Chain A
Amino acid sequence: MANLWQKLTHHDGNGWWNLPHGPSNELNPPHEGPIGGAWFGNLWQTLTHGGVSHAGAGFYWLVGFLLAVVTLLEVWLFTVEGLGGWYIPILLILSVAKFVGVVAYFMHLRFDHRMFTYFFASAMIIGILIFTIILFVAEHAHQKPLF
């Protein structure tokens, strides 16, 4: 039991709840956290107690549990009547939360070098642009040409 308590509470690099360290190498300014800003960097250093190279297994279990809860919530919302116009926005928000959870923590983007984030974010922006253009063109396909 004492060992279990140690695992749950210690943040010294051996506990289950170790949070990942911020930037994965020195190309990021060492005083900044993965989303930038010295204030966050300081908080991050405090949370991780100086940091380890990657998270503890318990941290991933926690993220997996939260993702499962969000999925259950989505399915439950499907059965709820009377949400009206709120149904789709709520589902989209929950879906984005899951998406970000997996990309940030399971794919380690949150703690990896920022260049990877820039790569993926650029692709997401272009992807969303393609998505929007297709929907826009289809919506206006039967109308008078714009130009």
Chain B
Amino acid sequence: MTQAAATEHHEPVENTSTGLNSRKLMMWAFLGSDVMFFGAFIATYLVYRGKSLVGPYPSEILDIPLTSVSTFVLLMSSLAMVLGLHYVKEGQKNKGTIWILVVVVLGAIFMGFQFYEFREFAHEGLTPRTNIFGTTFFILTGIHGAHVTIGVAWMAFMAYGSHTGALRKDNALDLEIAGLYWHFVDIVWIVIFTVIYLISATDGPPPGVGPTILH
């Protein structure tokens, strides 16, 4: 491929020591550090899995159908994100704005699900102080929820920028970097959904301990 063809079809080579955009590289480095951050919390959850001496236990409280819906919502928000970026890069302002707004709405719905779940758990007697399951569960999902909240705010800002014309085809990298963050929040949830919900949902009380009487 000739250099001319390369310039026509590809992103420009940045004038940096790596030839890559420094902001994008920084986002990947940040996401790398976040992998370790979440890795430590997920490992901690697994270390204390099944070690709660009092209930409620995961099998008594986790609502798989509800969480499956919220997982689907977050997954679809990732699709909306990539479509938003696609249309902004194509210079289709309205479509770009709409899809970014869809990300905001789906992210907010996911937060609503999480708020509802936390409230239900608290109602049934599970708080971060109840048992070791509560502590590790709320810390991990709470930190993820905080990430989602930041992402929703960031996306709302991007949608506004796209609507006003501040976010355009030529500076779509701003949205791409925000999108990397959003997709990362999604992949973390993919792991959390599998490890905490689908795998741990059958965890009951330890041998010799009876089930919890839920309110």
Find chain A residues with CB under 8 A from B24 CB: 116
Contact with B along A71-104 (1 / 0, CB 8 A): 1001101100000000110011011001100110
Contact with A along B1-23 (1 / 0, CB 8 A): 10100100111110000111000
Tell me if B78 and A102 are in contact (CB < 8 A): yes
- Whose C-beta in chain B lies nearest to the C-beta of A103? B187
B43 within 8 A of partner (CB): yes
A35 CB within 8 Å of chain B = no
Contact (Cβ within 8 A) B19 A25: yes
Would you call B40 and A52 a contact (CB within 8 A)?
no
Which one of B9, B29, B87 contacts A52 once the chains associate, using CB atoms below 8 Å? B9
Known: A68-B75, A119-B32, A130-B43. A75 touches B194 (CB 8 A): no
Cα A63 to Cα B78 in complex, Å, equals 11
Instruction: Kindly state the separation between the CA atoms of A53 and B44 in the bound complex, as whole angstroms.
Output: 42
B93 to chain A, nearest CB (A): 15
B contacts with A, residue count (CB < 8 A):
57
Q: Contact partner of B79 among A26, A52, A95, A106, CB < 8 A?
A: A106
Q: For chain B residues 156-215, which have a beta carbon within 8 Å of chain A?
A: 176, 179-180, 183-184, 186-187, 190-191, 193-194, 198-199, 201
- Looking at chain B's contact residues, the main secondary structure is helix
The digit string for B51-70, where 1 denotes a CB below 8 A from any CB of A, is 00000000000001100100
Docked CA distance A18–B117 (Å): 40
Any A CB within 8 A of the CB of B86: yes
Contact B47 A135 (CB under 8 A): yes
> Which residues of A lie under 8 Å from residue B94 when comparing CB positions?
none
In the bound complex, do residue B13 and residue A78 qualify as a contact, i.e. CB atoms below 8 Å apart?
A: no
B105 contacts partner chain A, Cβ-Cβ < 8 Å:
no
| Residues of chain B within 8 A of A52, CB atoms compared | 9
The distance in angstroms between the C-alpha atoms of A78 and B176, with both chains bound, is 35
By a CB distance below 8 angstroms, the chain A residues around B33 are 123
Roughly how many angstroms separate A47 CA and B194 CA in the complex, as a whole number?
A: 34
User: A43 within 8 Å of B by Cβ?
Assistant: no
Partner of B82, one of A60, A91, A119: A60
Count A interface residues, CB 8 Å.
Answer: 56
Say whether A131 contacts B40, CB under 8 Å: yes
Residue of B nearest to A88 (CB): B199
A51 within 8 A of B: yes
B39 CB–A CB distance under 8 Å: yes
B20, A115: Cβ atoms under 8 Å? yes
Known: A106-B78, A108-B176, A134-B44. 12 other contacts (CB 8 A): A23-B10, A24-B10, A53-B9, A95-B190, A98-B190, A107-B179, A113-B19, A116-B28, A119-B32, A126-B32, A128-B39, A134-B47
**Which residues of A line the B interface, CB within 8 A?**
21, 23-27, 30, 50-57, 60-61, 63-64, 67-68, 71, 74-75, 77-78, 87-88, 91-92, 94-95, 98-99, 102-103, 105-108, 113, 115-116, 119-120, 122-124, 126-128, 130-131, 134-135, 138
